[in-house]
């Protein structure tokens, strides 16, 4: 990493860990689903969109608050309200 982006190193490491945990949970869920299929037991579907809740906006952005050096004080602007997600064709 160039010195200007060195502050992202911890954030990227944290994201790598979150994704690894999410993929491990997805694998464990698939194994459990296969095991239960034999006994016809229901299993709540796995949330692939957030890798079982490991990856969401809060988890993804949390480390931004801990950036140092030239990246300290980086401001992330995001409006989570439903209307901000509409496209011009939505309404």
Residue 42 lies in a domain: yes
Number of domains in the chain: 1
Residue 76 lies in a domain: yes
Residue 12 lies in a domain: no
Domain membership of residue 49 as a residue range: 17-80
How high is the pLDDT of residue 8? 81
Residue 90 lies in a domain: no
- Show the tokens assigned to 83: 């209307």
Residue 27 lies in a domain: yes
Residue 57 lies in a domain: yes
The per-residue pLDDT string of the chain (91 residues; one tens digit each, 9 = 90 and over) reads 788 778 788 888 888 999 999 999 999 999 888 887 766 667 788 999 999 999 888 887 776 777 777 777 777 776 665 554 444 444 4
- Give the 3-state secondary structure of the chain: CCHHHCCHHHHHHHHHHHHHHHHHHHHHHHHHHHHHHHHCCCCCCCCHHHCCCCCCHHHHHHHHHHCCHHHCCCCCCCCCCHHHHCCCCCC
């Amino acid at each position: 990493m160039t010195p200007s982006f060195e502050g992202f190193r911890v954030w990227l490491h944290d994201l790598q860990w979150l994704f690894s945990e999410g993929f491990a949970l997805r694998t464990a869920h698939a194994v459990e689903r296969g095991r239960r299929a034999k006994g016809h037991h229901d299993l709540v579907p796995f949330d692939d969109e957030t890798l079982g809740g490991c990856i969401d906006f809060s988890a993804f952005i949390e480390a931004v608050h801990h950036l140092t050096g030239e990246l300290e004080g980086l401001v992330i602007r995001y409006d989570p309200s439903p209307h901000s997600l509409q496209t011009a064709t939505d309404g």
